[in-house]
Amino acid sequence: MAHAPQHDKLLIVDFGSQVTQLIARRVREEGVYSEIVPFNKADEAFRAMKPKAVILSGGPASVHENGAPLAPTAIYEAGIPVLGICYGEQAMAQQLGGKVEGGHHREFGRAEVTVTDESPLFDGVWEKGQSYPVWMSHGDRVTVPPKGFRTIATSPNAPIAVIADDARKFYGAQFHLEVIHTPHGAALLRNFVRKIAGFSGDWTMRAFKDEAIEKIRKQVGKGRVICGLSGGVDSAVAAVLIHEAIGDQLTCVFVDHGLLRLGEAEKVVALFRGHYNIPLIHVEAEDMFLKELAGVDDPEKKRKIIGKLFIDVFDEEARKLGGADFLAQGTLYPDVIESVSFTGGPSVTIKSHHNVGGLPERMNMKLVEPLRELFKDEVRALGRELGLPEVFVGRHPFPGPGLAIRCPGPVTKDKLDILRLADEIYIEEIRRHALYDDIWQAFAVILPVKTVGVMGDGRTYDYVVGLRAVTSTDGMTADFYPFDMKFLGHVATRIINEVKGVNRVVYDVTSKPPGTIEWE
């Protein structure tokens, strides 16, 4: 764990909830540095980190199962505030002598809790005797609180919905405070972090930048670093931060793999060679990438092929430079978390195109990942702190594997060219209608089907293009953007008229639960 050394820290013990990352986001919104660790590594992390407070996350398990995950007893014995959320509340109650029952208490979705007593957790947010909407997701429930605890809120299906031991500063909530479906959840978390745990909220992007620069200098020394640029915000911010730390010891390598958006290569080269004067190697590798991807249908195989080819290119360019000691990349905190399967689930495969955790031994290089503690919106804030142009910092996220995962089925140059132009028209219209900044991510997809259509006086047999636009506050959950039909009709007409090879356009109106918001 590489945490911020000059700030008080909060540890989040992850029991496998889909929304654990949202807890970290809410905490960081209060200017408090937080880290997530899996329950099976929590004891070691707790002793190393020495946090000022701990939050226990939700999770899919039942405390009645053999080998059910629990928090280290050292957490309860340390004399620091602890907040349990959903399963975290149940684990706390079970470990401290309370009673948890299951079997007939399943509850998923919206519910209401009624405040039955005053508490520092509710101060200025919830009032005694009033009811408030929350988001429940549980099968078990606490039926007897541990000694020293009192019930401070109740609900029809969870009579002990919130518990408190004010003397020890232990609190537990059956509902999820971290999700937007609990409207006052962020304010309750703020009370825990600021009023109960006493954090000052001094973790800022300016402080992070200064500390990161020192950390990079200490790690790199006099070594040489190559940084892989993808065209996205993450790698660009990482490159500018590293350049500010070590100057010409950094060389950026931009791999033009043929899977970029329209005009992407020219924009990246202009920014780094012109605006920042950072040494940049522009590798034109479209033929190599498309050859290796030819005929590949499975998106996971595409990701792995692209990741391997990136490494091959970086390795070759390092040799041309006479060797490099470090490879820098724009790994973010979600990449790190999602690349570790805490509870045996599929999350280990989500970021398979990233080299999270290490590089092939043959490269003889170490990773520099200065953003691996940050979420996407924090990276944008850091980019602004570093002076990157807003038009670049505010761009919608772009996946590392590029358009390959927006081209379901085999990837060909013809399909990519169709996709590039359709995507450009779509984004151009979004900007023209002043909608770009209201949307977290918008993109076009070329579907692996053709349909019969009539254009003019002739029949066509061409591709279908799908459009996606989502709103999100954190990139973890997403809902479709509610365009009006006039806008969609206008965009579809432009694409069909201007992009040869397309005769139908559809809009995706599905919402996404926690996880990827890409379309694969």
Average pLDDT over residues 371-379: 88
Q: How many other C-beta atoms can be found within 10 angstroms of the C-beta atom of residue 311?
A: 18
> What does the pLDDT look like over 70-86, one tens digit per residue?
999 999 999 999 999 99
Contact present, 504 and 447 (Cβ < 8 Å) = no
Contact present, 258 and 413 (Cβ < 8 Å) = yes
Tell me, yes or no, if 86 is annotated catalytic: yes
The set of long-range contacts for 420-428, using a CB threshold of 8 Å and a minimum separation of 24, is: 420/261, 420/262, 421/262, 421/498, 421/499, 422/446, 422/465, 422/495, 422/499, 422/502, 423/261, 423/262, 424/261, 424/262, 424/263, 425/491, 425/494, 425/495, 425/498, 425/499, 426/467, 426/491, 426/495, 427/396
Q: Which of 167, 37, 165 is nearest to 95 (CA)?
A: 165
pTM score of the predicted model:
0.77
What count of Cα atoms within 13 Å lies in the side-chain half-sphere of residue 108? 3
Average pLDDT over residues 15-22: 84
Q: Which of 355, 350, 378 is nearest to 4 (CA)?
A: 378
User: Can you say whether residue 465 is alpha, beta or left, with left for phi > 0 and alpha for psi between -120 and 50 degrees?
Assistant: beta
> What does the pLDDT look like over 454-487, one tens digit per residue?
777 778 899 999 999 999 866 666 789 999 999 9
For residue 230, CA distances in Å to 227, 354, 373 come to 10, 12, 19
pLDDT over 80 (residue 186)? yes
Contact present, 24 and 36 (Cβ < 8 Å) = yes
Q: Give the span between the Cα atoms of 129 and 123, in whole angstroms.
A: 14
* pLDDT over 70 percentage in the chain: 89
Cα-flanking dihedrals φ and ψ of residue 371, to 5°? Answer: -105, 10
Tell me, yes or no, if 176 is annotated catalytic: yes
> What does the pLDDT look like over 112-138, one tens digit per residue?
899 999 999 999 999 999 999 998 876
Greater pLDDT, 270 or 351: 270
Predicted local confidence at residue 441, as pLDDT = 92
Contact present, 92 and 72 (Cβ < 8 Å) = no
The SS3 call for residue 126 is: coil
> What does the pLDDT look like over 232-271, one tens digit per residue?
889 999 999 999 999 999 999 999 999 999 998 998 888 8
Greater pLDDT, 203 or 423: 423
Q: What is the 3-state secondary structure (H, E, C) of 160-186?
A: EEEEEECCCCEEEECCCCCCCCCCCHH
Mean pLDDT of the chain: 88
Inter-helix orientation angle 205-220/233-246, to 10°? 60
Inter-helix orientation angle 413-432/485-498, to 10°? 140
> What does the pLDDT look like over 297-331, one tens digit per residue?
999 999 999 989 998 998 899 999 888 999 998 88
> What does the pLDDT look like over 436-448, one tens digit per residue?
999 999 999 999 9
Q: Which residue has the tokens 């109106």?
A: 509
- Spot the catalytic one: 7, 30, 35, 86: 86
Tell me, yes or no, if 178 is annotated catalytic: yes
Q: Give the span between the Cα atoms of 113 and 134, in whole angstroms.
A: 7
Handedness of CA 289, 290, 296, 302 (dihedral sign): positive
Q: Kind and range of the H or E element at 137?
A: strand 131-138
- Spot the catalytic one: 176, 243, 257, 396: 176
Predicted local confidence at residue 353, as pLDDT = 45
26, 29, 30, 32: CA torsion to nearest 10: 90
* pLDDT category of residue 377 using cuts at 50, 70 and 90: confident
Q: Give the span between the Cα atoms of 94 and 64, in whole angstroms.
A: 9
pLDDT over 50 (residue 342)? no
Predicted local confidence at residue 247, as pLDDT = 94
The SS3 call for residue 468 is: strand
Predicted local confidence at residue 105, as pLDDT = 65
> What does the pLDDT look like over 47-71, one tens digit per residue?
999 999 999 999 888 888 888 899 9
Q: Which residue has the tokens 């200490």?
A: 218
64, 67, 70, 76: CA torsion to nearest 10: 100
* pLDDT category of residue 518 using cuts at 50, 70 and 90: low
- Spot the catalytic one: 35, 178, 378, 429: 178
